[in-house]
Chains A and B, each alone.
Chain A
Amino acid sequence: MRYSVFSLLSQGLRGNRGWQPVWRQPSPKSQYDIIIIGGGGHGLATAYYLAKLHKRTDIAVLEKGWLGGGNVGRNTTIIRSNYMLPPNTYFYEHSMKLWEGLEQDLNFNTMVSQRGVLNLFHSDIQRDAFARRGNAMRLAGVDAELLDAKQVKQLIPVIDIDNARFPIEGGLFQPRGGTARHDAVAWGYARGANALGVDIIQNCEVTGLDIENGSVRGVHTNQGDIRAERVGIAVAGHTSVLAQMANIELPVESHVLQAFVSEGIKPLLDTVVTFGAGHFYASQSDKGGLVFGGDLDRYNSYAQRGNLPTAQNVLTEAVAVMPAVARLRLLRQWGGIMDMSFDGSPFICKTPVEGLYLNGGWCYGGFKATPASGWCFAHTIANNEAHDLNAHFTIDRFERGNVIDEKGAGPFPWEQ
């Protein structure tokens, strides 16, 4: 069913009894052309673009839990393309352009809201660094504006511009950045892929990879063996677990990242704001809750929950930026497992195993990358060759010395 104001009206007049499930629940066939492991945002987007742009429809997406139950539903929903290093700038800007047309493309309301992303700076040196990043963005055709303290205060009246420890000198603003509804992104891509004939199989955990003479032949799952010529891994958080099945060594560690939502309040914050003297990012959802997060817990973890020292740190930063939120109560807090690569940049590439493709290493950047990640991964799988946009996101960039270390943090994943 195509969604429109007419479908909404006609269903409403008939008591909303005619809505249909938006994706099938098929049993796996014994063979597919392409298998995508992981039914999160990236896996579903990959299947959608493979079917839509590359006319490959004999595809299965295997999800070990339920659709959208992993990191696509565990992030702080921020979308932006304010990166400085060329491989990141062009890749994330491609993603931003896809976000801008996503709802029309999918015929699904993903609630993309270009409310702007503001990175605060607190010193002259930080201003210079942000100006440099803003200039790099503008040279690449991305929007960026350098705001002074007065303009910041105008944009976010609740902000504490005269913070005694970290006074705010200004901010780097990307007006086209913003937020999107993360669950709807997973559902929209799933609906789109399903309509083009992709089988989305939930509760299907991959337990092994079938590899013969250096080529992939299929996967072993808890629902039986499935053969395929090409297999794509898109399981960020658990990439090492899958890579181990193929004996591939990776520069990746899994770390837990927490996120928080406050109780709902009246409109307070109509943009996305980040604190430059620490690591804190916040926006306000349409329901009124403040959605925010900060640093990793800084130890290897596969547990989808974090610890209190990090929570305290994040909440302290929230109050430093907006003292007015000090008496708000938290509604929810949760954790997601990040694939932390050793330079903070992702992998979208071929692997040493023929027919096996890797999408992972997303660090903090996975959600905003969803459309471009799927788009580039689909191109890479369909053509057995990377697109220019993801040509740098290989595994061997570390051994060749071509790391893409946006933050300059060095080879410490928990510092990225």
Chain B
Amino acid sequence: MHRIKCPFCGERDESEYVYQGDASVSHPPLDASVSDFYRYVYVRDNPKGWHREWWHHVGGCRMWVQVARNTLTHEIYATALAGETLDFPEDA
């Protein structure tokens, strides 16, 4: 069981959250090329190790939380609100 620390609500079980995917991608400008939009929608680094991701705290405060989590060990390094800077392991 993951326990994810929500910046508002504190540490909560993963079952209160809904996973919302890779947080390292960002929306390209509206006049960007098809290829840029393709990469935004579809291409992912899919790392075996540390991963930036969104968890939506649906069963709590409903905020979107950024999480630095290890995909191999399921260890959570840090969390942050959207718009804040997320602490991320240096070796990643």
B50-61 interface bits toward A, Cβ cutoff 8 Å, 1 = contact, 0 = none: 010100000000
Contact B21 A414 (CB under 8 A): yes
Given known A398-B38, A399-B34, contact A303–B72 (CB-CB < 8 A): yes
Q: Does A15 contact B (CB under 8 A)?
A: no
A399 close to B71 (CB less than 8 A): no
Q: Give the complex CA separation of A308 and B1 in angstroms.
A: 6
Interface positions of B from 1 to 54, Cβ below 8 Å from A: 1-2, 13-15, 18-19, 21-22, 34-35, 38-39, 41-48, 51, 53
Of A252, A254, A299, the contact of B19 (CB 8 Å cutoff): A299
Residues in A with CB closer than 8 Å to B34 are 399
Question: Is B42 in contact with A251, judged by CB distance below 8 angstroms?
Answer: yes
Q: Whole-angstrom distance between the alpha carbons of A307 and B69 in the complex? A: 15
Judge whether B74 is part of the interface by a CB distance below 8 angstroms: yes
Complex CA gap A309/B19 in Å reads 13
Q: Which residue of the partner chain A has the closest CB to B15?
A: A309
Residue in B38, B39, B71 whose CB lies within 8 Å of A302: B71
Bound-state Cα–Cα, A212 to B12, Å = 50
Interface contact B48-A412, CB-CB below 8 Å: no
Residues of B within 8 Å of A309, CB to CB, are: 1, 13-15
Residues on the A chain within 8 Å of B42, using CB: 251, 342, 398-399, 411
B85 within 8 A of A: no
Bound complex: CA A357 to CA B14 (Å) = 38
Per DSSP, chain B at the interface is mixed
The CA-CA distance from A249 to B48 in the complex, in Å, is 15
Looking at A238, A302, A307, A411, the one whose CB has the most chain B CB atoms below 10 A away is A302
Q: Which positions 268-316 of chain A face chain B at CB distance < 8 Å?
A: 298-303, 307-309
Distance in angstroms from B4 CB to nearest chain A CB is 10
Chain A residues near B14: list those with CB within 8 A: 299, 307, 309
Query: Contact between A241 and B48 (Cβ–Cβ < 8 Å)?
Result: yes
Instruction: Tell me the complex Cα distance, A301–B19, Å.
Output: 12
The interface size bin for chain B is 20 to 34
Q: Given A253-B46, A399-B35, A399-B38, does the pair A301, B71 have CB atoms closer than 8 Å?
A: yes
A299 to B21, CA, bound (A): 7
CB-based contact A307/B46 at 8 Å: no
Q: Are B46 and A250 in contact (CB under 8 A)?
A: yes
Q: Is the CB of B48 within 8 A of A302?
A: yes
Decide: B19 and A411 in contact? CB cutoff 8 A.
no
Report if A119 contacts B (CB, 8 A).
Answer: no
Interchain CB contact under 8 A, A300 and B51: yes
- Per-residue contact bits, chain A 315-353, to B (CB 8 Å; 1 contact, 0 not): 000000000000000000000000000100000000000
Q: A254-B71, A308-B1, A309-B1 are in contact. Are A299 and B53 (CB under 8 A)?
A: yes
Query: What are some 19 contacts across the A-B interface (CB < 8 A)?
Result: A240-B44, A240-B48, A251-B44, A252-B44, A254-B71, A298-B19, A299-B2, A299-B69, A300-B71, A302-B72, A303-B74, A307-B1, A308-B1, A309-B14, A398-B38, A399-B35, A399-B42, A411-B42, A414-B21
Supply 9 further A-B pairs (C-beta < 8 A) apart from A240-B45, A301-B72: A249-B43, A251-B44, A299-B2, A299-B69, A303-B72, A309-B1, A342-B42, A398-B38, A412-B21
Write the residues of chain A forming the contact surface with B, with a CB cutoff of 8 angstroms. 238, 240-241, 249-254, 298-303, 307-309, 342, 398-399, 411-412, 414
Nearest 4 pairs between A and B by C-beta? A240-B46, A251-B42, A309-B15, A399-B38
